[in-house]
Each structure stands twice: as C-alpha cells, then as structure tokens.
Amino acid sequence: MDFMMHSEQQNQLEPTQAPVERHSHNQWNPYVDNGGTSLIIAGKDFVLVASDARQSVGYNINTRYDPKAYELSNKTVLATSVCSADAKRLCEVLEQRAQLYYHKHERQISTQALAQQLSNTLYSRRMFPYYVFPLLGGIDAEGKGAAYSYDAIGNMERVTYKAFGSASALVQPFLDNQIGMKNQRGAEGERMLTREEALRLAIDSFTGAAERDIYTGDWLDIFIIDAAGVHKETRELKHD
Amino acid sequence: MDPITLRLPHTVQRPQELTSYGPTTRTTQPIVTGTSVVAFKYKDGIIMAADCLGSYGSLARFRNEKRLTQVGEKTLLGVSGDISDYQYLQHKLEDMITHEYDMDDGQSLGTKSVYKYLSNIMYGRRNKFDPLWNAYVVGGIDNGEKVLGFVDMYATTYSSDTIATGFGSHLAQPILRRRVEGRTEQITEEEALEILDECMRVLFYRDCRTFNKLRRAKVTAQGVEISEPYSLETNWDFAEDIVGYGA
Amino acid sequence: MFRNQYDNDASTWSPQGRIFQVEYASEAVKQGTAVVGLRSKDHVVLTAVKRSPNELASYMKKIIRIDDHMGIAVAGLTSDARVLSNYLRTEAMRSKMVYGRPLPIGRAVNAIGDKAQTNTQEYGRRPYGVGLLVIGFDDSGPHLYEFSPSGIVSEYYGYSIGARSQSARTNLERNFASFEDMSLKELIVQGLRSLRDTIQQGKQLDNMNTSIGFVGKDAKMTILDGEDTQEYLDLLNEGEAMDTE
C-alpha cells in the first residue's frame, strides 16, 4: 500500500514540478550565500554596472569592501552575486578565456562573444554549478550599450536593465517602474536612459536597498562603460 | 626479516591492499579543533592571537597546540578548526616554500601569493566535497603593503582591517570594529596588545572551548615574531553573586 | 646525405665532443632575420626586421606577447617559436592563477631551456630550430635573456641573434655602457640603430618591415608595427642626419 501511494504520487507529478530528492545520507553543502546586490542598466551608447561591496555570512559582516563587480581586459564589467568564492573563480576563468581569445585572434574579444563564452562557462558546470548570478556589461559591435543577464547554469538573456542578489526583490520592481514603465497608463514602453538618469537610478536603488536589506551596504562600486572605456567610481552606502 | 605490523585492538585498520577499495571517505566533522583566531592591522603591521588548546569535542585534550605559524619570510598564518587538516596543510605550505627556495633566484613568495595559494587549495578541496575543515587568517607585509586575509572551508575569501574566526566573529569582531576600524594607522603596538588582550579575555570568559594559555604574534617590516605562551589576568569575583555557582 | 657519421640524431656524440644536430639547429637561428634586445634600468626593448617571403605574402611575425609583463622575439623557425610561446603563455597564466603573481622571467626562460635540453638528449627527438630573445619586467626589474636550441639561456644588457646579428652585437658592445640611464624612447632608437647594421646592402628599415616591442616599470608589454613604428624610425633618421652634419 505504501508502495502504491508512492507510485501514485510519482505519477501525479506535473512536468513543471521538480522532483523532491531524498538522500540516504546528508552531504556536506559546499555553497554559501554571501549576500549583496548587483545591477545593470543599458543605455544608447553606454552601460552602467553597479554592485555593493559588503560581504556577509548570516548575521555576520565579513568585510565592508569585497568588490563583486570586476573589470575584464576587454572593457566589459562582470557583476556577480551570492557565492563569493565561486564568483571570484568564475571571473578568473572568464578573464583567462578572454586572454586566450586575445592570443589566438590578436584582438580583444567582443562583448557578444564574451557573453556567449560566459554562458558556456557556466553551463560547463551544469552538474555542479557556480552559485553565481552574473550580469555582464559592455559595448556591442554597433556601439550600443549591451547588458546580459544569466542564471547560475548559463541561461542567457540580453536585457536593458536587471537586478540580482539579496535585494533584487527590492530593486527589480523599482527598475520595472522607472525604466520598464510596467503597467502604467499612457506609458510607451521601456525608456532609454541618459547617463545621468541611469546613475541617479542606480544610486537611489542602492540607497533604498541598503536601507531595507541587511545584506546590502557599506560601499557601492559603479562602472560606466562607453566607447572611451570603463569609468569607475566608488560611493559610500550605509555602514550599519 | 618481515616488517613488524602493529595491530591495535581499539582501532579499525583496513588492510593495506584495500585502501583503494570501499566507499570513499570524507571529513564530515572536525575531530580535534582549535577555536577563534583574532587579528587586525595596526601602525607597524599585523597582530594576531590564538590560544593553545586543541579540543576533542568538549574535552580540553591537547593543551600545547601552536596555532600561529610563520610561512616564508613575512607571512603569518593563524588557524582555527580541525588541527589534523591544518597539519596536513602546513606540509603543503612547507613544500611550496621549499620549492620556491630551490629556484635559487633570489625571489620569494610574498603574503599575497601565500594567501592565493592557500585559497586555491581550499577551493579545490571544496570542489571535491572533501574540505579542509578550517578557517585561516593570513597576515603579512607584501611590498610594503599590509595584507590581512581570511579563507575558510567553503573557500570564501575576504580582506579586512579586522578579522576574527569562529566565536571570535561574534564576540571579538564587534570590539575590533569599535576600537580598530578606521584608525589602524593610529594604533601603536602598546594599544594593539591591549585591544588584543581585551578580545581574548572576552573570548576566554564566554567561549567554552578556550583556554587561558595563548600566543600572540606580529608581522612588521622586521619580520614575523611569535610569542611564547602567556596567560591573561582574569577576575571571577562576580561568580560569588551568581546563584547556583559553586557553593 | 650526412656531413659525417655522428650527426644522425641529437643523442649521438662525435669523438670531438660535439653534438652535430644541436649545432645544425643553431644554424637555423642564423637563417632568421635579426632581432635585437637591450635594456636600461627601467625598460627592455626588442627590435626586429620582418621578412616577407614575396610580394604577395604578408610579413612574418617576429615579436610575440606572452603576458602583460613578458614578450619574446623570434629568429629561426617561427612554427617552433609558436610551440614555445604557447607553453610560456600557459605557464604565465598558471602562475597568475595559482600564486597571483606574474611569472618571474628567469624561471620562464629556464623552463623552456629545460624543454630544449630534453630534445638534445632523448632519442628520436629534434632540437628546436629557433632562438629567442625573451624580455620582461618582474619583481627584480627588467630582464633580457637569450634562449638557444641547445638549451643554454643567458642574461644580457644587450644582445642580438639571427642573420648578420654580429654587426648588431658589435654596435651594442660599443654603446652598452650608456643604456642604463636611457629613456624608453632613446632605448628604442638605439635598438633600431643596432638593428639597422644587420640589414642587407641596398635595403633599409621602414614601417613595413620593422617591429618594436617593449616592457618596463610603468609599461605593459607593447608591440608596435606598421605606422606606429614611424615615429621611432624618424627619430633614427634624424639622429643620423645630425651625426653627418
């Protein structure tokens, strides 16, 4: 009877439902959530990438400055979130692949190519994922701001704006409202922001996130990437 | 003559030829452990402290463990967590330093390199689901720059002016944030020692896996200096007022 | 077929104590166009003449980047050089990944030296047919090394290998005392001056056949080709005009 119950349950599993795995023994969990938030906004000829720098585990703040967004050699910026150890290694691996491309083709890898490379890199660890939700920003072949968002196993999407990390549930709706113009009467779809607007929205997003999310705060690294290169500035957030 | 084999009755010994058979084994819990390491930057460099206890569960089993060691010329390593994993790692670091020395070209591994190498080992073992059950603090001076970094069994790494592992992250870190953060360059050695003692005293009072025999160490431009074991002055007068304590 | 009975392979000695295959490999280095390397207290420079096999072909690559702090110049079999440069690039990456530091130049050169030596001692192998000048900047400052097919590596203030390189070496020997305090620009022009001595009669350095590489204290490994070399070629010719006045 017990067996019957079990098999019935199995049969009732909807295709969209994930099966619950029952392990006979508990395995050590190698993942840690180090908190923090990252954001990306694409403009006409620029892209803005921002990440806070707090690293935490549970209620402990490990450090106030551990940058989560990294400038890569081909003038793109990779912003990460969640597992810091994986994020750091992922950046190293991606930078190495960018270097290999440079040596092979004698020119910097394009933003699009690197975006695809990042997807492949993540997927190569499909069975033991990098616990990282990356955002990649750069300038595309047409000189437009290119923003890419990924899940941990390499699903890739080009976006105009996106927020990931511990305060994503706070920041994403804000961006949906301010940039996406979602569900607003009379609004004509997504806005293309100017640099100043993007910068203000990014700063407001993070001051808001730092106010309500305990895992976001301390310092904010903002990268603005355009045809001329990468400009970085660091701002202070709440330290509490 | 046949080699003598020891067969101790209370230990399980797998036959030599079977070591590659059977289920793979992992560290699923630490056995002999060291508790907190406390470290921070001050005017002249890095200062660090840890006690001499190797606990076996709640038993104060080994009372003369050295949990602060020198690696290379200007690097100090503090360890908490499993002592045997630490001793294994110590051999790896020795190999690394020896290999560097053997190159015989006048170059040596700085603190950043030691830290990077150590982090890589930890990340590699984490990826094998077979972690070294430790939290390490690496301190030193690299090309005139003070370096203080942390790495644990998940290979989480970070640098900070103040670092405390284990219970220290709850009990000592708040003290360090109040007294050290933002004023590392003003702290003299005298004050640094006083801050360190304050932290270690609180830990001794409140962390059951501590021991009043500890070492401190510093890294300055002159190099690494690890103290002999010493004790802190403590005061248990308040105990008299606690109902149920003692008599 | 053979010049003598002791040059069948690299693992056979001649009674005079020579290994002919290694000597032949060293001859291959002299078939390549010349490259010059020289260093000051802050910088190291490479200059090279590129050869074009014919009118329709492009110029051969002579200077290869290894990492931000290291580069090589090639004389001899370019394809052998590619094997070595790939190896060096991987080693440089490994050093960055494992120890977080740029690969020390001396160690890099010794590593390829050991590879080359193996080729001179194992049966059935062939020595590399290429010589390299390796430049780089690490914790102990700027370096210039020569790598040769025999596996010998040596460090220099200034050196040249390849076709007619003796003329460049003579020029370097006459001037090397003044290299120490030269600026990067002066060092490059001096490099070109030495390189010019290796050019065949009736030919000259121009922005098509000249290649410049440098690295130093505040300069990442940079390779200049084509139009970018003109500035320095002009300085070279100006200096020459002043000398004759």
Q: What is the pLDDT of residues C9-28, one digit of tens each?
A: 898 999 999 999 999 999 99
Contact between residue B37 and residue B78 where contact means Cβ atoms under 8 Å apart: yes
Task: Show which residues of C are catalytic.
Answer: 33
∠ CA B174-B175-B176, rounded to 5°: 90
Closest residue in C to B103 (Cα–Cα): C107
Residue among C65, C89, C97 minimizing CB distance to A92: C97
Interface touch C139/B117, C-beta < 8 Å = no
* List of residues 6+ apart from B75 with CB closer than 8 A: B109, B110, B111, B114, B115, B138, B139, B140, B219, B224
User: Looking at residues A47-73, what average pLDDT do you find?
Assistant: 97
Q: What is the pLDDT of residues A165-176, one digit of tens each?
A: 999 999 999 999
Closest residue in C to A103 (Cα–Cα): C65
* pLDDT mean values, one per 10 residues, chain B (247 residues): 57 53 75 97 98 96 97 96 97 96 92 98 96 97 97 98 97 97 96 97 95 97 97 89 74
B vs C: CB pairs below 8 A: 28
Q: What is the pLDDT of residue A8?
A: 47
Q: Give burial (CB, 10 Å; 0-12/13-18/19+) of B170.
A: middle
| Dihedral angle sign, alpha carbons of residues B78, B82, B83, B88 | negative
Count: domains in chain B? 1
Q: What is the pLDDT of residues C104-129, one digit of tens each?
A: 999 999 999 999 999 999 999 999 99
In the predicted model, is pLDDT for residue A28 greater than 70? yes
Cα–Cα dist A137/A158, whole Å: 10
Task: Show which residues of B are catalytic.
Answer: 27
User: Looking at residues A7-23, what average pLDDT do you find?
Assistant: 56
Whether C61 has its CB under 8 Å from any CB of chain A: the answer is no
Report if residue B17 sits inside a domain.
no
**Range name among A72-81, A154-163, B37-46, C47-56 with the lowest pLDDT average:** C47-56
* CATH architecture of residue range(s) C28-238: 4-Layer Sandwich (3.60)
At residue A101 the predicted structure's pLDDT band, cuts being 50, 70 and 90, is very high
Distance from CA of A131 to the nearest CA of B (A): 12
User: Looking at residues A133-152, what average pLDDT do you find?
Assistant: 97
* List of residues 6+ apart from A158 with CB closer than 8 A: A115, A146, A147, A148
Q: Give burial (CB, 10 Å; 0-12/13-18/19+) of C36.
A: buried
At residue A1 the predicted structure's pLDDT band, cuts being 50, 70 and 90, is very low
Query: What CATH number has the domain bearing residue B219?
Result: 3.60.20.10
Residue among B105, B112, B120 minimizing CB distance to C104: B105
Mean pLDDT of chain A: 92
Q: What is the pLDDT of residue A5?
A: 45
Residue whose C-alpha is closest to residue C141's, from B75, B146, B105, B115:
B105
Contact between residue A76 and residue A48 where contact means Cβ atoms under 8 Å apart: no
Closest residue in A to C85 (Cα–Cα): A103
Q: What is the pLDDT of residue C115?
A: 96
Distance from CA of A148 to the nearest CA of C (A): 26
ipTM score assigned to the predicted complex: 0.89
Whether B127 has its CB under 8 Å from any CB of chain A: the answer is yes
Q: Where in the sequence is the domain holding B198, given as residue range(s)?
A: 30-224
A vs B: CB pairs below 8 A: 44
The domains found in chain A, sorted by start residue, are 33-56+63-236 (3.60.20.10)
As a dihedral over the C-alpha atoms of residue C83, residue C86, residue C91, residue C92, rounded to 10 degrees, the angle is: 140
Contact between residue A122 and residue A152 where contact means Cβ atoms under 8 Å apart: yes
Distance from CA of B245 to the nearest CA of C (A): 53
CA A62 centroid distance within chain: 21
Report if residue B76 sits inside a domain.
yes
Tell which wins on pLDDT, B156 or C8: B156
Tell which wins on pLDDT, A18 or C171: C171
Report if residue B24 sits inside a domain.
no
Report if residue B103 sits inside a domain.
yes
